[in-house]
Chain A
Amino acid sequence: MLFKKNNLNKASFGLKLGAILGILFLHVPLFLIILYAFTTEDKSYQFPPPGYTLKWFSIVLSRQDIWNAVSLSLQVAIISTMAAIVLGTLAAAALYKASFFGRDSITLLIILPIALPGIITGISLRSAFGVVGIPFSTWTIIIGHATFCMVVVYNNVVARLRRSSPNLIQASMDLGANNFQTFFYVILPNLGTAILAGGMLAFALSFDEVIVTTFTAGQQTTLPIWMLSELIRPRQRPITNVVAVFIICITFIPILYASYITRNTTDTEGSSK
């Protein structure tokens, strides 16, 4: 039995295989998309591709409708991320420590937009815009996106606030700083990477969102809406492949960056060494 114990602390072959197959299951589809972006076949999804070419990339670069969709998506993602950062950080600052009547309901309210199916949020907003008489515009898309992006920033900032020591704030006050100085010189630098990481994820979420957007966009085309129409009726398969690769790249960058800047934050900031 003693001999066996060392073996028992290692993963069995079956478990290892299961884990590796699982990771492959998560990633092979994404690799396939990248492979398909270079295929010469434009009528079907033939595997393996009969030949490889770069021409679809240059065709996509010259397509004005795609550029318009990209620029609309970027605009929406940037503005709604900024709104989400302000609102989410404020909510986190108010809720992380406080205990008052209705606190749990407010927390639930912040999580609700992402917990309920997007279609319910989308239709609700759409009918509300209709009732109030707000015409569809970039701003109606942004209102929807900021609503569900808020929770991402909130989560990141709340987690950081819970980890940072209250002593820091006490020390700053003891040394004569007022609330605002404490906020700008102590709290904000401490929260910086958490806010940035939350913002990055909110950006990725917004850039990619299609369900709520379908209901709040009217006739406008964001990149995911363009993509969705191609998914329903494939007319330009090679172009869609290239756009998909582009979307993978533009969402991977903020996600990787967010995990990079928060990699060393498991220790409590300002806790006694």
Chain B
Amino acid sequence: MISSLDNFSNYLYKNKHILLLIFLLPPLLWLGIIYLGSLVVFLFHSLFYLDGFTGKVVYQISFSTIAELFSSPANIDILIRTVVLALAVSIGAAVIGFPIAFYMAKFTSPKIKIFFYLAIMLPLWSSYLVRVYSWKLILAKEGIINWVLAKLHLTWLLDAILSLPVVGGPSLSISYLGMFLVFTYIWLPFMILPIQASLERVPNSLLNASYDLGATRRQTFYKVVLPLALPGIAAGSIFTFSLTLGDYIIPYIIGTSKFFIGQAVYTHQGTAGNIPLAAAFSLVPIGVMAIYIYFAKKLGAFNAL
């Protein structure tokens, strides 16, 4: 028994590719058949179309569904609205996240750094739904934001902001502004960690050299720190951008009644039964992300991960 096991062991050692195959087969079968199989079948539906009279899917190859997606103004609106929001959220997360990442990477003792690290990891991994829910409490009319503003006698300011044309709305919880806040909050940790990682690699001597050569704090920041952090920002924005593109729960709970890509996919596959159009909508985030990742790669995003 032992010797046959030894023989087998030796055989595997000499034929590494067999061992590799044994390792690789279970995960590959799982992902290849269950995941990739269903994904390809679903996305392939975008080449079929819905019969207008019977409401049934016609299984014939045609580009009419994809043409419908890009020709109907309502659909174009959805696509543009989603991409703009995703960009806004990425910028917002970078602006809020940068000071945290910079401070954490360059100005903390090891102990404080661990504290910061945990403070970012806990929200990152903790419940998405609970965190969305917390904003329902915060944005509510009787909630904390309105309370604080009333105490500071600033309610007029909020009213003024909410009366702005695009970002405003009847209340914070039914406006693009509220939605932007929630999205930024939810994906913020995904932005902080890559920026922090890229700044961590900037040697302190580089900053000192800049100061020694007479640069001010501001000049050093714009000419040295920011360019070196750019790959990190690009890497972080891959997450914030793609996660916002595909989300359908936040627009459903916080937003206005206007649709985003995720909701469009959800509605078309559900009540409407229009799987081809749902599949065509799903192709958009995949395509946009492929383009986005291509450019992020040029900025060195993948070296920052």
Contacts and interface: CB of A to CB of B under 8 A. Distances in A.
A17 B37 CA distance: 50
Contacts of B42: 120, 123-124, 127-128
Interface stretch (A26-34, A53-61, A62-70, A187-195): A26-34
A240 B252 CA distance: 18
Contacts of B208: 5, 8-9
B282 A123 contact: yes
Interface string A219-243: 0000010011001101000001000
A47 B248 contact: no
B138 A29 contact: yes
B23 A90 contact: yes
Q: Main SS of the interface on chain B? A: helix
A179 interface: yes
Residue among B37, B118, B125, B211 with the highest chain A CB neighbour number at 10 A = B125
Contact of B131 (A30, A36, A255): A30
B80 interface: no
A244 interface: yes
Contacts of A261: none
Nearest to B103: A19
A120 B127 contact: no
Interface in B74-107: 96-100, 102-104, 106-107
B63 interface: no
A87 B282 CA distance: 27
A171 interface: no
B265 A94 contact: no
Contacts of A29: 131, 134-135, 137-138, 185
A25 B39 CA distance: 37
A232 B251 CA distance: 11
B128 interface: yes
Nearest to A131: B41
A118 B35 CA distance: 12
Interface residues of B, number: 96
Contacts of A113: 31, 35
B133 A252 contact: no
A115 B23 contact: no
A36 B137 contact: yes
Interface stretch (B5-13, B152-160, B162-170, B226-234): B5-13
What 9 pairs across the A-B complex have the smallest Cβ distances? A117-B246, A18-B99, A128-B38, A29-B134, A178-B9, A19-B103, A94-B23, A124-B42, A11-B107
Given A94-B23, A244-B130, 12 more contacts: A10-B107, A15-B103, A27-B123, A32-B134, A45-B143, A90-B26, A119-B266, A123-B278, A124-B43, A127-B269, A150-B27, A251-B126
Interface of B: 5-6, 9-10, 12-13, 17, 19-20, 23-24, 26-28, 30-32, 34-39, 41-43, 45, 96-100, 102-104, 106-107, 114, 116-123, 125-138, 140, 142-144, 147, 185, 188-189, 192, 204, 207-208, 211-212, 214, 217, 220, 242-243, 245-249, 252-253, 262, 265-266, 269, 275, 278, 282, 285-286, 289
29 contacts: A1-B214, A5-B211, A5-B212, A8-B208, A9-B204, A19-B104, A22-B100, A26-B123, A27-B123, A33-B137, A44-B140, A47-B137, A47-B147, A91-B27, A120-B265, A120-B286, A124-B35, A124-B38, A150-B30, A150-B31, A208-B129, A210-B128, A224-B129, A227-B129, A244-B133, A248-B126, A251-B125, A252-B126, A263-B114
Interface of A: 1, 4-5, 8-12, 14-19, 21-23, 25-27, 29-30, 32-33, 36, 44-48, 86-88, 90-91, 93-95, 98, 100, 106, 109-110, 112-113, 115-121, 123-125, 127-128, 131, 143, 146-147, 150, 173, 178-180, 201, 204-205, 208, 210-211, 224, 227-228, 231-232, 234, 240, 244, 247-248, 251-252, 255-256, 259, 263
